[in-house]
A = this chain, B = another copy of it.
Amino acid sequence: MAISLQAPTNLLPIAGIQIASTGAGIKYQNRDDLVLFELCESSNTAVVLTKNQFCAAPVTVTRENLSICKPKYLLVNSGNANAGLGKKGINDVIQTCKAIASEADCRAEEILPFSTGVIGEPLPVKKITDKVHNLVSNLNENSWLDAADAIMTTDTIAKGYSEQLDLDGSRVSITGIAKGAGMIRPDMATMLAYVATDLNIETSDLQVILQNAVDQSFHSITVDGDTSTNDACTLIASGKSGIKLKELSEQAKEKFITVLNAIFLKLAQAIIRDGEGATKMICIQVEQATNKLMARDIAFTIAHSPLVKTAAFASDPNWGRILAAAGRGSDKALDIGKLSLYINELEVIEDGELSENYNEGGGQNEMQKDEILFRLRLGLGDAEATVWTTDLSYDYVKINAEYRT
């Protein structure tokens, strides 16, 4: 069902990052649902966590542990979010961290826990701790594909990308995996992403690089406007290539950031392509706004409009709904007389009037495509924003009405 999306067939190992995955039967049977990452001594790690105030227990513990020491392990489970469970949730996740610490002979605070799945059901701690020995003894560098599969919940397809690049004559690798698929929106979602490189990057730089990468990718996608209690995006630099970011030429630095950002964007778009019930990927580009915030507000208002999304599902070029959403999307004054709207390359509105060359048949042709671009020019300034979303289909309702039954 995913829109022009292939499961990865090959993900490059990242020297210094070992992975094991296994099936603990947390919610799903006959598949892996538990992943352990081991990060080598020289690794630096940056994490962006959900801004939801009722964040899940693993988010609270991850935030706490990050403030105490450098992480050595990431423990990820799918099928249960361990959210909304008060003190019990915290105690449960700490138990799983202690089990890893005991098996791997490290401090419990060196483990960052992550969970994704149903909210409000107690974490089956024993099912997880029973698998700890298995996980720790099976760590290896070639399990990125298994990990991409194991972290899925309502995803229909695994998501992962790798790139190898030449930086000032040295070879560096980047591999990233992510999972969606609902509750996706800015400030993250039931979204987990793990991206690693063997480049050496200092922690302070790493956090800035991650924040910028996330802003133009995961913070610019939305399926349904809902934000999860569990979202987390992690960037690890193992340093095992022996190459240091800060010693690279400006050109090589820029090349690395460009490729890294592109991987983040592809992962974010993969989540949209596999959005719950999605039949189309819609890109909303708002141009010529007074400022960036205004452009983003309008783009997200269009992206969240159920009327725009159902029209897209029906391949209906209902541009009136796009304008109506734009018209309530910002506090800043808009001028209808300066506004232009394109669906893909087709001009629909020019300076506030229906374009002379526009007709419904042409509009419908564009709307029938799997990937649709709405480009709105406000004619006010030079700020812009781009946001990706899905349509709203019967299947979205079906998936979310039946999730727990």
Question: Is there an interface contact between B119 and A326, defined as CB atoms closer than 8 Å?
Answer: no
Number of interface residues of A (CB under 8 A): 64
Check if B307 sits within 8 Å of A182, measured CB to CB. yes
**Hey, what's the 0/1 contact readout for A327-355 against B, CB within 8 Å counting as 1?**
11010011011000000000001001110
Could you tell me the distance in whole angstroms from the C-beta of A307 to the nearest C-beta in chain B? 5
How close is A321's CB to chain B, nearest CB, in angstroms? 7
Contact B226 A327 (CB under 8 A): no
Chain B: minimal CB distance from A228 (Å)? 6
A interface, over-half SS: loop
Instruction: Say how many copies of this protein the assembly contains.
Output: 2
A52 within 8 A of B: yes
- Bound-state CA distance A360–B225 (Å) is 26
In the assembled complex, the Cα of A404 lies from the Cα of B313 at a distance in Å of 13
State the Cβ distance, A133 to closest chain B Cβ, in Å.
Answer: 31
> Given contacts A52-B328, A401-B313, are A86 and B353 in contact (CB under 8 A)?
yes
Task: Please measure, in the bound complex, the distance between the C-alpha atom of A118 and the C-alpha atom of B316, giving whole angstroms.
Answer: 13
A83 interface residue per 8 A CB criterion: yes
Residues in chain A within 8 A of chain B (CB atoms): 51-55, 81, 83-88, 118-120, 182-183, 187, 224-229, 304-307, 310-311, 313-314, 316, 318-321, 323-328, 330, 333-334, 336-337, 349, 352-354, 392-394, 396-398, 400-405
A-B residue pairs, 3 tightest by C-beta: A119-B320, A54-B327, A314-B401
